[in-house]
């Protein structure tokens, strides 16, 4: 088994006709999320985007379902998929002024808090840094479009009702307001950046010791990899009931490290990102005893194949 210290995923995912992450609404118009970036030529560009918070939430939801299925420990709060993940009442042995003890309790009690991080204001502002880190999905300036579509709610009885039958006009007006609205559909090629600090699985950053067994770390590691993979297979988010994204393609590079040298990341907003990652990896390998490996990916099917190999042939390294 190869022992993995960190994993990075850099790539481009093509999504058509989605509205996963909107900024809100103004009147009867849904506003699509946009960000301004500096492109590879040094020029500003405004493009559509999906926030890293949304990507992290998608991964956490997949991790939660797998954890429930495979009986990984979850706090009472996380078992309900509450955004707080863990609260003082979940930790009867935690101490407000002893973050070493509290961290041990959090790691043993809740696998989701281990990989996704946690903050507990009721225990001396305790915090646990996430193992999984996600950047924004940012559309390439030359490959993104947003169109707005007109929608109207259909009220079938509106014209057939006779005036004499309208006994209670207020009740008949319920839920028929705001019939007309406009909503966006976005299509584009999106750059993705993600990093997994595998060394920190089950690791107490304060005591510098592992709080759970090697077997438990291995189980959480496989669940984490599955949840990241499932994130690309099923992108949860807004308006999927009628605008479920068309996932057209994924290409990129998975890089993993077997030492404390971090797996390198380089944004796919740069058209030369694959070569850059290969060169950075080559240079780093010359000073780290070849501890880095790159895996090129050309399709979603290939992504699932490589993740399958990682799940079946690797395990988490230890500090």
- What's the pLDDT tens digit per position in 194-253? 999 999 999 999 999 999 999 999 999 999 999 999 999 998 877 767 778 889 999 999
End-to-end CA distance of the chain: 17
Is residue 9 predicted with pLDDT exceeding 50? yes
Cα 256 to Cα 3: distance, rounded to the nearest angstrom:
10
Which H or E run includes 131? none
| Residue keyed to tokens 């290939």 | 302
pLDDT at 172: 55
- Give residue 71's pLDDT: 96
Of 245, 253, 248, 234, the closest CA to residue 292 belongs to: 253
Mean pLDDT calculated for residue range 140-163: 71
Domain assignments of the chain as residue spans, ordered by start:
2-142+184-316
Q: What is the pTM of this model?
A: 0.89
For the chain, the average pLDDT equals 90
Token pair, residue 119, equals 């903050």
Phi, psi torsion values for 132, nearest 5 degrees: -95, 130
């Amino acid at each position: 088994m190869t022992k993995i210290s960190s994993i990075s995923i850099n790539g481009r995912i093509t999504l058509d006709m989605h509205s996963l992450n909107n900024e809100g609404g103004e009147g009867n118009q849904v506003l699509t999320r946009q960000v301004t970036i500096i492109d590879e030529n040094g020029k500003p560009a405004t493009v559509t985007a999906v926030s890293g918070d949304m990507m992290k939430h998608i991964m956490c939801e997949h991790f939660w379902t797998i954890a429930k299925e495979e009986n990984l420990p979850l706090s009472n709060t996380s078992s309900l998929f509450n955004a707080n993940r863990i609260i003082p009442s979940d930790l009867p042995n935690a101490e407000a002024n002893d973050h070493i003890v509290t961290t041990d309790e959090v790691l043993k009690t809740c696998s989701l808090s281990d990989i996704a991080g946690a903050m507990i204001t009721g225990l001396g502002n305790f915090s646990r840094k996430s193992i999984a880190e996600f950047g924004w999905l940012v559309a390439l300036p030359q490959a993104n479009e947003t169109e707005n579509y007109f929608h109207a709610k259909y009220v079938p009885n509106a014209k057939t009702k006779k005036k004499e039958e309208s006994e209670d006009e207020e009740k008949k007006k319920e839920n028929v307001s705001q019939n007309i609205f406009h909503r966006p559909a976005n299509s584009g090629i999106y750059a993705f950046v993600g990093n997994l600090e595998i060394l920190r699985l089950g690791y107490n950053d304060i005591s510098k010791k592992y709080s759970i067994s090697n077997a438990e770390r291995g189980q959480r590691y496989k669940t984490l990899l599955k949840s990241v993979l499932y994130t690309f297979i099923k992108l949860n988010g807004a308006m999927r009931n009628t605008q479920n994204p068309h996932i057209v393609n994924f290409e990129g590079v998975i890089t993993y490290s077997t030492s404390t040298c971090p797996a390198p990341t380089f944004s796919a907003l740069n058209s030369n990102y694959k070569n850059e990652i290969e060169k950075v990896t080559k240079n780093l390998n010359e000073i780290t005893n070849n501890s880095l490996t790159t895996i090129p990916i050309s399709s979603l099917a290939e992504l699932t194949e490589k993740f399958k190999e990682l799940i079946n042939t690797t395990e988490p390294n230890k500090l």
